[in-house]
Amino acid sequence: MSFENYAIIESTLREGEQFSTATFNTSQKIEIARLLDAFGVEMLEMTSPLASPQSEADIRAIVKENLNLKVLTHIRCNKEDARRALDTGVDGVDVVIGTSPQLIEHSHGRSIPEIIDLALDVISYIREQAPHIILRFSTEDSFRSREADLLRVYLAVADTGLVDRLGVADTVGIALPSQVYQLVSQIVRLTQLDVEFHGHNDSGCAIANACAALEAGATHIDTTVLGIGERNGITPLGGLIARLYTINRAYVSKYNLSLLPEIDRTIARFCNLDIPFNNYITGSSAFIHKAGIHAKAVLADPSTYEAINPADFGLSREISIGHRLTGWNAVRNRAQALGLNIDDDTLRAITQTIKQQADISTLSMQQIDDLLMGAAQ
């Protein structure tokens, strides 16, 4: 298990740029990179310099920022891409090539032995040119690849002793946590190298799969802010943080958690999105308690119904009062917050009034406050 010792590879500026409404300009990229650096992510992955002239210039601009995080770029497995990547001055290069029958047939047309030859050639070239660069080799569509093919490729690459990290990618978002656990454990055991997991969310397992990868010994997890990426994206940064926090808060204490709301808001704004109401930590309903029984317990001790303390993220909880499920503890708490001295019988009566009125339509906080202030006079 590597919960105590893992790194986030934040790919909002690579995978995230592949999201339908994402096209970040240079100043937006710099703002995102600075925020993620202040949050404390260890690595930032950027679009290949071959994508467009601006993409190349933007890598150079981020490298110049001299941030604490390592700047990586993501390239196809060929020497020309590698040469262009090295030329930008990045700290690391992420090389990827498809190994599934689908990608072999429809993407690059190379057989497994040809993939191995090419991979070794490209990796040796990068290492020769840049002995100290962080070098990762990844197979695309790992979970639809034949296991024997995958292991052959990984072992050949690992045997060179030239790469720092191997990557496993659930490119079409179909892996189960048990499959991720099994494959990652096997790679860790056979190669002893650092392992990165990149998981798409097409069938809703991206966070669970990232967690399974860490349980199996993966050392690096790819995320994007809000989970943006191709189709419906990959493991969201905030979702991974929520997942790890609820296992043990210490697993995320290295990050500046109170920056998460600003990070999510910034990407939502740049992509013309709303933060989903049910988003991990920063969704509008993430810390709203409604039913009377919940409100009572949360008012006594928030941990009764909160696995995550909103204050750790600079947020606060809300007790919803003006609805038919309300309870008198929530009403009393509101009266106290307003500094009103109302006896319990009256508070219970007000609670019944709220329930009756809310059967017709929910009450605003102002309407509740009016009822309470009326009773206090």
DSSP 51-114: S-HHHHHHHHHHHHT--SSEEEEEEESSHHHHHHHHHTT-SEEEEEEE-SHHHIIIII---HHH
96 belongs to the binding site for ligand HCA (CB under 6 A):
yes
Contact 335, 376 (CB under 8 A): yes
Residues 191-210 that bind ligand HCA (CB under 6 A): 198, 200
Query: What single string gives the DSSP state of each residue in 110-157?
Result: --HHHHHHHHHHHHHHHHHH-TTSEEEEEEETGGGS-HHHHHHHHHHH
Least spacing, CB of residue 96 vs Cu ion, in Å: 9
Task: Please check whether residue 133 is in contact with residue 92, taking contact to mean a CB–CB distance below 8 angstroms.
Answer: yes
Cα torsion 361, 367, 369, 373: sign:
negative
Binding partner selected for residue 54 from ligand HCA, Cu ion, none, CB under the kind-specific 5 to 8 Å limit: none
User: Residue 45 binds what, of Cu ion, ligand HCA, none (CB under 5 to 8 Å, by partner type)?
Assistant: none
Active site residue 294: yes
Residue 99 binding ligand HCA, by CB under 6 A = no
Query: If you ran DSSP here, which 8-state letter would residue 232 be given?
Result: T
Of 10, 37, 56, 94, the one binding ligand HCA (CB under 6 A) is 94
94 touches, from Cu ion, ligand HCA, none (C-beta below 5 to 8 Å by class): ligand HCA
Q: What number of chain residues touch ligand HCA (CB under 6 A)?
A: 13
Instruction: Provide, rounded to whole angstroms, the least separation between the CB of residue 114 and ligand HCA.
Output: 19
Q: By C-beta, is 10 or 358 nearer to ligand HCA?
A: 10
Q: Is 138 in the site for ligand HCA (CB under 6 A)?
A: yes
Nearest approach in angstroms of CB 38 to Cu ion is: 25
Q: Say whether 342 sits in a helix, a strand or coil.
A: coil
The answer to whether 46 and 71 are in contact (CB under 8 A) is yes
Contact partner, 167, from ligand HCA, Cu ion, none, Cβ < 5-8 Å per class: ligand HCA
Task: Tell me whether residue 104 or residue 257 sits nearer to ligand HCA (CB atom).
Answer: 104
Determine if 264 is a binding residue for ligand HCA (CB under 6 A): no
Start-to-end C-alpha separation, the chain: 61
- Residue environment code for 281-298, b if the CB has 16+ CB neighbours within 10 A, otherwise e: bbbeebbebbebebbbbb
Shortest distance, position 79 Cβ to ligand HCA, whole Å: 18
Binding site for Cu ion (CB under 5 A): 15
Query: Please, what is the minimum distance in Å from the beta carbon of residue 229 to ligand HCA?
Result: 7
Strand partners, 234: 200
Token pair, residue 187, equals 């790679």
**Restricting to residues 143-182, which ones interact with ligand HCA according to CB under 6 A?**
167, 169, 171
Within residues 55-74, the interface with ligand HCA by CB under 6 A covers: 74
DSSP lists the bridge partners of residue 289 as 319
How far from 277 is each of 9, 56, 259, 280, CA to CA, in Å?
A: 26, 36, 19, 9
Interaction between residue 227 and ligand HCA (CB under 6 A): no
Rounded-to-integer distance, Cα 322 and Cα 334, Å: 11
Output the smallest distance, CB 136 to ligand HCA, in A.
8
Report the residue number whose CB is nearest to Cu ion: 15
Residue from 106, 200, 294, 323 carrying the catalytic annotation: 294
Q: Which chain residues interact with ligand HCA by CB under 6 A?
A: 15, 18, 74, 94, 96, 138, 140, 167, 169, 171, 198, 200, 230
- Active site (catalytic) residues: 294
